[in-house]
Amino acid sequence: EVQLVDSGGGLVQPGGSLRLSCAASGFIVSGTYMNWVRQAPGKGLEWVSVIYSAGSTSYADSVKGRFTISRDNSKNMLYLQINDLRVEDTAVYYCARGGADGGNFDVWGRGTLVTVSS
Amino acid sequence: QSVLTQPPSVSGAPGQRVTISCTGSSSNIGAGFDVHWYQHLPGTAPKLLIYLNSHRPSGVPDRFSGSKSGTSASLAITGLQAEDEADYYCQSYDTNLSNWVFGGGTKLTVL
């Protein structure tokens, strides 16, 4: 079964760091483009970052320079290192697989909650 | 303010038909980028509902359909059922932002 299980969220003070993880099963993460998408409380979905099969990455302007997406091919895992956390980063973070048909996200994790508060 | 504009809410009685609009611009939908739709129930994983403007993934009922014209797209749901009550999001790509972008989401209430 194709599945994504995200984890690693928690309560962090402003300026702190977290590493989110996403365990994939049923497919190979390095074989497609993998993404992180977030949803702040009461808000809509916001694309955050992508890592392509070739290893190149891209970020939303709101997180550029603070977030780093990576993967471990041997563990079939996706990660998001979040540094210099801000209150506005509070959100549920979802990992999502890029669809083979291009431009969409066809498999999603259930999300992990990051709360930034003092 | 989302790059793609959706109505905050729509509603309909069981069995009725509802449509959800998604309005973009010349830098996204109008530039020819495809539109995709997702269904999201709080606390669960979002689900791909429509891809490439009008295609349904395996397992999605044919009550759901999508279309695209110019700088806009729409999702239609016929034969409304209580289980359709959820948030719906459109998504595309924007050349100005060089990002994938989502609409603000539409909450569907089945009366």
Residue B47 CB: number of other CB atoms within 10 A? Answer: 17
The residue ranking higher by pLDDT, B1 or B85, is: B85
Percent of chain B predicted with pLDDT > 90? 95
Torsion angles phi and psi, residue B100, rounded to 5 = -75, 145
pLDDT tens by residue, A60-92: 999 999 999 999 999 999 999 999 999 999 999
Q: Do B102 and A94 touch (CB under 8 A)?
A: no
Beta bridge partners of A82: A18, A67
Of how many residues is chain A composed?
Answer: 118
pLDDT tens by residue, B36-83: 999 999 889 999 999 999 999 999 999 999 999 999 999 999 999 999
B36 touches A at CB < 8 Å: yes
Residue B1 pLDDT > 90: no
Q: Is residue B52 exposed (0-12), middle (13-18) or buried (19+ Cβ within 10 Å)?
A: middle
Q: Do A106 and B44 touch (CB under 8 A)?
A: no
The residue ranking higher by pLDDT, A114 or A100, is: A114
Q: Which residue has the tokens 């540094």?
A: A83
Residue from B52, B100, B106 whose CB has the most chain A CBs within 10 Å, to mutate = B100
CA distance A64 to A62: 6
A105 touches B at CB < 8 Å: yes
CB B46 within 8 A of CB B86: no
A36 touches B at CB < 8 Å: no
Task: Name the closest residue on chain A to residue B8, using Cα atoms.
Answer: A44
